[in-house]
Structure 1
Amino acid sequence: MDLAAAQHILKTTFGYDDFRPGQQAIIEHVMAGENSLAIMPTGGGKSLCYQIPALMFDGITVVVSPLISLMKDQVDALNDSGVPATFINSSVDWPDIQERLAGLHNGAYKLLYVAPERLDSAAFLQALGQLPVDLLAVDEAHCISQWGHDFRPSYLALSTAIEQLPTQPQVLALTATATEQVAADICQQLRIDPQNEVNTGFARDNLDLTVVKDQDTDRFILDYLKVNQGETGIIYASTRKEVTRLTTLLTRHHVKAAAYHAGLSDDERRANQEDFLYDRIQVMVATNAFGMGIDKSNVRFVIHAQVPGTLEAYYQEAGRAGRDGLPSEAILLYRAQDLQIQHFFIDQSERDESNKQREYQKLQVMSQYANTQGCLQQFILAYFGEDSEPCGRCSNCRDDREAQDITVSAQKVLSCVVRLRSRFGKGIVAQVLTGAHNQRVRDNHLEELSTYGIMNGQRQKSVGELIDFLTAAGYLQSIGGQYPTLAITQEGASVLKGETQVFRKMARKAKRLAPVDDELFGKLRELRHQLAEDQHVPPFVIFSDRSLHGMCEVLPQDDEAFLSVKGVGQSKLEKYGEAFMAIIREDQAAAKA
């Protein structure tokens, strides 16, 4: 491999001085003609691992990518950096497809992005077979494994399609989340020698992990958005109904938010996604239908308003925050009852019994993550088979909240569950304790219990949150599927007997992510926004937030200094350098005046 040539492209085209961990090793495998697997965290720079070789090969590189939106964003970003790339997917009509194929034949493009479903088409495969394909890059490669969290049958056709291409291109598989089992499956399916796996680890040093348990989640979200005003983020929920409810709540509190789920029309989803990518809205509230491959680099926070089904899915979705390497946060709002939604999804799925059991076990891991007292980053890395030290940054590592003795309140709840003989769920327990007078309480003569009304000074909601805490802490257990009942555990019995005290930490308060950006950054961001609107591309295609922060530090006023900013290559200098430097010169002149 000509390392000097690769580094020249890295600097002049993409604007970076040095390779990030793993990039050089992967590129060396590719340039040596070896099939390889790259496992790198989201934001770790996987794309450059095939984009740089693409510019060094004589032929073309085909990138298999699962989402249309990602293809367009990446092609826009490559074209903006002076790299000739195109895509073919269902958004492109037949005449345009023919025109793009002709351009590929004539050497007009170096990269072609396609959806995996395209490779199911014999006609498309035949057309692809007439092109000089040197490299096939398989993005989101975990989708090929039935052991993974996001298996897609369309990926299974890849190995057959590769065999049918006359050029026998080499393969580079890329993913951010793969357990050891999933990685082995990818290698087997795509004929990759396991020795050609490059795994840079799963740690994200710029991503702070936080778990917020058994609190008023609406209040926390609103407080968080208030103290982080102007920052962009994603809020995930498990159901369309909850996405709609949260979007309405945020809009009512004057937060610029939009919804994204499979129940919306294609046009609505497209418009909302575009508004998010173009920074017209602050928050996207979405089901997991949104986000795989979303290349928006300045997402500062990801909040899971409900528990996802697996730790792999959680970490991949959380990893959409801070792709540009700047400080970002991933927050899980945990309530024990939300596990029942995922239980229901598993119950209703078409999986066989053994696969359902595997999914239940993965959900149990998610619950253990939310309830661990140890380092959150360490827990995740251990799940992926990686040893690590405590991160020192997550909410558990930095937890300095006071613990309050709530033994008496806990005994009241536990006593009520015993007197209800474990026949009812959280709602009825809270109603009995707070002295509710509804029909169900009267029909079951629950007002006759000795525990009826013994917490009548508290709201049902706060008593419900206390029940969630006692369940998460192991004093109560939730039994059953869709309509679970509560039962006391052995630990709960020892609390009732006065043998064990119960302590609960004070509610977690929303904090500011990072210092407020300075005035110059705001001016540069406004210029970036105007240029993006004029060119009809997302702002991060012009420059990432990291590049804008770099400009604020370097304060470049000539071409050489501007090129020293990370993410600024020759093409971007020629297109945008003068406009950005004019604002910097003006700002410096005003500061001196």
Structure 2
Amino acid sequence: MFNQPEKILQSYFGYASFRPGQKKVIDHILHKRHTLAIMPTGGGKSLCYQIPGLIMDGTAIIISPLISLMKDQVDALLSLGISATFINSSLSNSEQQKRLKEIKTGRYQFVYVAPERFESGLFLHTIQSIPISFVAFDEAHCISQWGHDFRPSYRLIVPILKQLHHIDTYVALTATATEAVISDIQELLDIHPEHIVNTGFKRENLSFHVVKGKDKRNYLRHFLEKRTEESGIIYAATRKQVDGIYEWLRREGYSVGKYHAGLSENERQRAQTQFVHDETNLMIATNAFGMGIDKSNVRFVIHYAMPMNIESYYQEAGRAGRDGEPSDCILLYSPQDVQLQKFLIEQSMMDDVTKEREYEHLQAMINYCHTHSCLASYILQYFNDLEAIEACETCSNCTYRKEKIDITEEAQMILSCVKRMDERYGISLTAKVLRGSKDKKVRELGFTKLSTYGLLSHYTERDITERIQFLIAEGLLQSVGGRYPTLKLNAKSVEVLKGKRHVTMYAAPIPTVETADYYYDLFMELRQLRKQIADEMAVPPYVLFSDATLKDMCRYLPKTEEEFLQIKGVGERKYEQYGEAFLKRIALWHASYPDKKARIQITDHRRTNDSSPKKDTRSSHMISYDLFKSGKTLKEIAIIRDLSLMTIVNHIFKAYQEGHTVIWDIFFTEEEETLVLEKQREIDERRLKPLKEALPEEYSYTKIKAILVKHSLI
């Protein structure tokens, strides 16, 4: 029995090896141990119980609070020839009765059920009469009172199940869990510490971006112009906001749906189905949408407003890139978002203690929006995933660092002002004092007499607020309290005030689109074929093959069954059902473009189930240089690597200084070179800015710098 998992993984699911943690979870279940699996979204949690369910005797009961997820997962299993069904409120009474009778006969290996089924005596009687292999709790954070999406009705299932003595194995699976949530689930389900498998929260294929100070609609317009064929989710804070964005994008001609609690059940279900089946590209939604949506090819998730806490944000953002392909998670921040979230906390029915905890979570979310540290590392640190913390090199803070701005002196002024205001006031009033505001409250409290009054009058109040938020995010200043927090100094504040610690900030622009390393036109043809077959089968397209698998087909151009089976995500069962149709379409495309060669040769190592991108061992500047040497333009390299143009130029210069060959003349003409050199002799030899101002407007810094480097003048 214990040797079977690898064979099933390969023949059913098309992978030659397990992802980290999967085999360990499977072994625990096969040995009938209560198990908790914490794996990131897209980390392959469903395989952890599907494979044991295929091996063990009896029926596996999968409890899910998500009706939409049940149907999608059952469809996926049925497409592989695996017997599965679901029971929830979407079925008529007669259909429920029919399925319960079939369950009694032992027809199904997997039964997906909603939590409310356990309130039904008929359902409990049914499962008492059949052998149960195990019970799995999907989205297990919902059963914890410390979880951000706690559902009391889900938790109440546990004592009911413990009365059914023929169930001896529980499995809990979740993608988001703090230490408190993990401890709560562990105690509730009697899980031994050695049977907790936590692979961490890191999602290496996701790039996180925080965009501040931009008009949100303009940003969306420019972003979506470059992503017209991709699937994405745009989360808004309110129903009104969802309706407004939806109507605007619909008028702009985008394929768009909307989802919020103000719509009827039929309207929500239709919108969700159209999105999952690739009939609409964009979903505009409140946080009511998404948990359990198993759509693997969501290429971006944009938050139009800041969520209330990191747990919610990471779960919602994590709906991007479930197939392991590079995807963007973008948060459009404005200060008004904070006030909205505070209003929502105050209007809630929570008690004072719970509200205080929510304010702490909100502050952590605010800090995320203002930190200049690696965004991915900030999230991992929040979840105490300390082993995985390292700069991701893909988030906006890592990738778009331009010149460092030393703000030590300004930080000292801010901290000094907080001290002189007796650490009793918040961000807004502190910013007004530093700005030199004539605000009534500033005058009444006598703050115009402070030595720090007006010290930063050359900045706008918004700029000062941004810097204060940055100091809080970096731990150099504290924000203490709930609805009306006050600023407090800490040990790091004292170090800054004494000049023992320097403070720097970075600037960060908008993410760019990555250049495809596969044949894009073939990819679009295969997507169309996948959609056609999926429609005939009445299942979502990703049930056939994920986008990641289609892209590999477009990289390797398989010609035979043997080659096709080496594509990751293609198992024997899927080849039997769809392989010939896809091979035929690839062959037809190749016949039209006979000069096109496979981008990468197929090897036996390609079918690994580990979707994490492999680390490039070359130094960053040599990666850019090798692309430059292969014939890529500087602009193309900047797009491919998601870096600024000037960063790429500096990479090429560094390679040149190390002795690598660079043909500088591709940067400029002979006339341009002559003009720059003439002007350079008239101006300070080492300064680019005066030289730029003395030359015609079309002379970029890139061009000027290249000419000066060629002549060893810089």
With normalisation by structure 2, the TM-score equals 0.71
Query: Quick check: 1:214–1:466 contact (8 Å CA) kept in 2?
Result: no
For residues 349 and 519 of structure 1, the distance between their equivalents in structure 2, rounded to whole angstroms, comes to 50
Identify the residue that residue 510 of structure 2 maps to in structure 1: 509
1:493 alignment counterpart: none
Match in the other structure for 1:107: 106
Report the alpha carbon displacement of residue 570 of structure 1 after superposing the two structures with TM.
2.4
Please show how residues 535-574 of structure 1 align to structure 2 within 5 Å. Answer: 535-574=537-576
* Secondary structure of 1:400's aligned partner: coil
Match of 1:419 in 2: none
Greater mean deviation of Cα atoms: 236-245 or 356-365: 236-245
Counterpart of 1:378 in structure 2 is 377
1:426-457 deviation line (CA, Å, top 9, x unaligned) = 9xx99xx9xxxxxxx9xxxxxxxxx9xx99xx
Please say if 1:64 is aligned against 2:63. yes
Equivalent position amino acid for 1:586 in 2: L
Tell me how far apart the structure 2 counterparts of residues 526 and 313 of structure 1 sit (CA, whole Å).
34
Residue-by-residue CA offset, 1:160-205 (whole Å, 9 max, x unaligned): 2222324224101000111111101001111211221001111111
- Aligned pairs for 1:351-366 (under 5 A) are 351-366=350-365
Matched position secondary structure for 1:369: helix
- Give the letter for the 2:140 counterpart: A
**Contact kept in structure 2, 1:298 and 1:322, CA below 8 Å:** yes
- The alignment-based identity, stated in percent, is 47
- Give the distance between the partners of 2:30 and 2:243, measured in 1 at CA: 48
Is the alpha carbon distance of 1:369 and 1:406 closer, same or farther for their aligned partners in structure 2, counting shifts above 3 Å?
closer
Offset at 1:107? 3.0
Query: Residue 135 of structure 1 aligns to which amino acid in structure 2?
Result: F
Bigger-Rg structure (1/2): 2
Distance in structure 2 (CA, Å) of the matches to 1:485 and 1:382: 23
Q: After TM superposition, list the pairs within 5 Å mapping 1:309-458 onto structure 2.
A: 309-386=308-385, 387-395=387-395, 396-402=397-403
Cα deviation for residue 403 of structure 1 reads 6.6
Q: Aligned in 2, Cα 1:507/1:278: closer, same or farther, shift over 3 Å?
A: same
Structure 1 250/468 Cα, relative in aligned 2: closer, same or farther at 3 Å?
A: farther
Aligned to 1:259, the other structure's residue is in SS state strand
Q: Deviations 1:389-428 (Å, cap 9, x if unpaired)?
A: 4233243112233578999x99xxxxxxxxxxx99999xx
Q: CA deviation at 1:245?
A: 1.8
Q: Residues of 1 paired with 2:230 and 2:106: CA distance?
A: 42
Q: Which runs of 5+ in 1 are unaligned?
A: 411-421, 434-440, 442-450, 456-461, 491-500
Evaluate the alpha carbon distance shift between residue 172 and residue 555 of structure 1 in structure 2; reply closer, same or farther with a 3 A threshold: same
Residue among 517, 523, 526 paired with 1:521: 523
Q: Secondary structure at the match of 1:331?
A: strand
The 8 Å contact of residues 66 and 140 in structure 1, kept in 2 or not, is answered as yes
From the superposition, tell whether residues 112 and 485 of structure 1 become closer, same or farther in structure 2 (CA, over 3 Å).
closer
Give the Cα–Cα distance (whole angstroms) in 2 for the partners of residues 309 and 541 of structure 1: 33
1:53 aligns with 2:52: yes
Residues 92, 519 of structure 1: CA spacing in aligned structure 2 closer, same or farther, 3 A cutoff? same
CA distance in 1 between partners of 2:181 and 2:507 (Å): 40
Distance change >3 Å, CA 404–CA 28, structure 1 → 2: closer
Aligned to 1:589: 591
Q: 2:278 aligns to what?
A: 279
| Matching residue of 1:294 | 293
Matched letter for residue 311 of structure 2: E
Q: 1:24 to 1:489 in 2, by over 3 A?
A: closer
Paired residue type of 1:583: R
Deviation at 1:293, TM superposition (A): 0.9
Q: Measure how far apart 1:25 and its partner are.
A: 0.3
CA deviations 1:470-492 (Å, max 9, x no partner) are 6666799999999x9999999xx
Shift in alpha-carbon separation, 1:403–1:225, aligned structure 2, 3 A = farther
Structure with higher RCO (Cα < 8 A, 6+ apart) = 1
| Between 508-517 and 106-115, the greater mean CA deviation after superposition | 508-517
Alpha-carbon RMSD = 4.0
- Written as runs of structure 1 = structure 2, the 5 A alignment for 1:83-94 is 83-94=82-93
8 Å CA contact retained: 2:392, 2:398: yes
Deviations 1:535-565 (A, max 9, x none): 2211111110011112223322332222222
Residue 22 of structure 1 and its aligned partner are, at CA, apart by: 0.4
Secondary structure in structure 2 of the residue aligned to 1:339: helix
Question: What is the alpha-carbon distance in structure 1 between the residues aligned to residue 485 and residue 97 of structure 2?
Answer: 61
- Stretch of structure 1 that moved more, 312-321 or 564-573: 564-573
1:237–1:306 Cα contact (<8 Å) kept: yes
In structure 2, C-alpha distance between the alignment counterparts of 1:39 and 1:145, rounded to whole Å? 14
Return closer, same or farther for 1:83/1:191 CA change in 2, 3 Å cut-off.
same
1:464 positional shift: 6.4
Q: Which amino acid aligns with 1:203?
A: K
Q: Distance in 1 between matches of 2:481 and 2:60?
A: 51
Q: Which runs of 5 or more structure 2 residues have no equivalent in the other structure?
A: 412-423, 441-453, 491-501, 596-714
Change (3 A) 1:485 1:36: closer
Is structure 2 residue 184 aligned with structure 1 residue 215? no
CA–CA distance in structure 2, aligned partners of residues 425 and 392 of structure 1: 31
Q: Give TM-score scaled by structure 1 length.
A: 0.85
3-state secondary structure, aligned to 2:398: coil
**Counterpart for residue 680 of structure 2:** none
SS state of the match for residue 525, structure 2?
A: helix
Question: Structure 1 residues 107 and 370 mapped into 2: Cα distance closer, same or farther (>3 Å)?
Answer: same
| Alpha-carbon separation, structure 2, partners of 1:289 and 1:370 | 23
Match of 2:535 in 1: 533
Report the secondary structure of 1:198's partner residue.
strand
Give yes or no for contact 1:344–1:481 (8 Å, CA) kept in 2. Answer: no
Question: Displacement of 1:108 after TM fit?
Answer: 2.2
My pick for the range that moved more, 68-77 or 567-576, is 567-576
Partner residue in 2 for 1:2: 2
| AA at the equivalent of 1:397 | C
Instruction: Determine the C-alpha separation between the residues in 2 that align with 1:424 and 1:293.
Output: 39
- Shift in alpha-carbon separation, 1:362–1:588, aligned structure 2, 3 A: same
Q: How does 1:469-484 map to 2 (within 5 A)?
A: none
SS in 2 for 1:73: helix
SS at match of 1:102: helix
The answer to whether the 8 A contact 1:50-1:137 is kept is yes
